[in-house]
Amino acid sequence: MLSRVVSLQRRPVGMPDLGDFQVTETELGEPGPGEALVANLCMSVDPYMRGRMVDRKSYVPPFAIGEALTGGAIGRVVQSNDPALAEGDHVESFFGWRDAFIAPAKQLNKLGELSAPASAYLGVLGMPGMTAYVGLLEVGALQEGDTVFVSGAAGAVGSAVGQIARIKGCPVIGSAGGAAKVAHLKDDLGFDHAFDYREGNISAHLKDAAPQGIDVYFDNVGGEHLQAAINHMRPNGRIPLCGMISQYNATAPVPGPNNLAMAIGLGLTLRGFIVSNFNHLRQDFLRDMTQWVNSGELSYRETTFDGIERAPEAFIGLFKGANTGKMIVNLNA
């Protein structure tokens, strides 16, 4: 079986462009003992991958030039040489931007019976959904009556954050780029307030939406949003730091919020987190989220690009607001 693989051709500087990527083909052999051959159905492109395209020390090593870029994928077993997996089983894996691959069975996460479309396991029932769940409930320590603000609210993580807050009975404010996304937050997802951060001043929007202040700010973007949120936090407020997409393409260090000293008097907690440190909450997450999705209390959208050769385009689109909800690359077309 032939596999197509997407890798870096050169390291992006600032906003990535299509010429930074390449698609190559490779012939897969037969799975060896303990291995399986998997055909991917769909895969994920995520903002955090931008960080690994830079050659610097980080909590995960940078991508090498010519090496398959790594992201989550959902696939189906085509051929198995291990008793743990059978042909037709669905598996979650992290073997990169490729349409098929051979890997040790023990490095594949068998999903069991799917209770939603495969792509949902890359979004609301996968890493972004779990990021929202642990970030809001555990890192943000959501309490009854809290007012919640989430940036990047139309994205995969943000839209789940806002809906979980709503399900928990908390007033929720979201920011997103553009009128269509703002309407989606209010009309479809039940946000109490939503605003277009490209129009007017973020701090002024927050003053209108939360005159009494904010208890939890779920930060997906950093930059101006974080600074404006700090201005409007209530005493003992919590700020889960989940992403700083506004800065990922910066070519020089970006100054942090100029009002961080307010955190002292207000007793604010800013806490960065990565979801992989919260695996002890995985069963809680799957139980609650599956129930919310199946009952219709929590809905999700996807933006889909068809074909692995469009993965770079989908990835770059993340930084240009091209997605509403989870960005998916469909490999099953």
- Grouping H, G, I as helix, E, B as strand and the rest as coil, residue 134 is helix
Q: State the virtual CA torsion across 316, 319, 323, 324 in degrees, nearest 10.
A: 170
Among 64, 261, 291, 294, binds its own copies (CB under 8 A): 261
Instruction: Using the Cα atoms of residue 250, residue 306, residue 133 and residue 76 in order, give the sign of their dihedral.
Output: negative
Rounded Cα distance, 242 and 217, in Å? 10
Among 11, 14, 15, 58, binds its own copies (CB under 8 A): 58
Considering beta carbons, is residue 138 or 284 the nearer one to its own copies?
Answer: 138
Considering beta carbons, is residue 192 or 219 the nearer one to its own copies?
Answer: 219
Instruction: Determine, following the binding rule CB under 8 A, whether residue 59 of this chain makes contact with its own copies.
Output: yes
Considering beta carbons, is residue 16 or 257 the nearer one to its own copies?
Answer: 257
Considering beta carbons, is residue 257 or 312 the nearer one to its own copies?
Answer: 257
Instruction: Determine, following the binding rule CB under 8 A, whether residue 204 of this chain makes contact with its own copies.
Output: no
Instruction: Describe the crossing of helices 223-231 and 202-209 by its angle, rounded to 10 degrees.
Output: 40
- Grouping H, G, I as helix, E, B as strand and the rest as coil, residue 6 is strand
Instruction: Using the Cα atoms of residue 310, residue 45, residue 42 and residue 72 in order, give the sign of their dihedral.
Output: positive
The tokens of 216 are what? 């939890």
Cβ of residue 208: shortest distance to its own copies, in angstroms? Answer: 18
The tokens of 223 are what? 């930059």
E strands along 105-229, which residues?
A: 109-110, 148-150, 172-176, 193-196, 214-218
Instruction: Determine, following the binding rule CB under 8 A, whether residue 254 of this chain makes contact with its own copies.
Output: yes
Instruction: Determine, following the binding rule CB under 8 A, whether residue 242 of this chain makes contact with its own copies.
Output: yes
Among 81, 259, 299, 303, binds its own copies (CB under 8 A): 259
Is-contact 107 34, C-beta < 8 A?
Answer: no
| DSSP code string of 161-194 | HHHHHHHTT--EEEEESSHHHHHHHHHTS--SEE
Let me know if 273 is exposed, middle or buried by CB neighbors in 10 A (0-12, 13-18, 19+). middle
Considering beta carbons, is residue 141 or 322 the nearer one to its own copies?
Answer: 141
Q: Applying CB under 8 A, which part among 51-59, 73-81, 176-184, 298-306 lies near its own copies?
A: 51-59
Instruction: Determine, following the binding rule CB under 8 A, whether residue 51 of this chain makes contact with its own copies.
Output: yes
Considering beta carbons, is residue 241 or 281 the nearer one to its own copies?
Answer: 241
Cβ of residue 245: shortest distance to its own copies, in angstroms? Answer: 10
Instruction: Determine, following the binding rule CB under 8 A, whether residue 269 of this chain makes contact with its own copies.
Output: yes
Instruction: Determine, following the binding rule CB under 8 A, whether residue 267 of this chain makes contact with its own copies.
Output: yes
Instruction: Determine, following the binding rule CB under 8 A, whether residue 222 of this chain makes contact with its own copies.
Output: yes
Among 2, 264, 295, 296, binds its own copies (CB under 8 A): 264
Instruction: Determine, following the binding rule CB under 8 A, whether residue 194 of this chain makes contact with its own copies.
Output: no
Considering beta carbons, is residue 38 or 157 the nearer one to its own copies?
Answer: 157
Considering beta carbons, is residue 145 or 235 the nearer one to its own copies?
Answer: 235
Amino acid at 68: A
Rounded Cα distance, 46 and 23, in Å? 18
Single out the residue of 97, 21, 2 nearest to residue 65, CA to CA. 21
User: Number of residues in contact with its own copies, rule: CB under 8 A?
Assistant: 37
Q: Which residues bind its own copies (CB under 8 A)?
A: 51, 58-60, 222, 226-227, 235-236, 241-244, 247, 253-274, 277
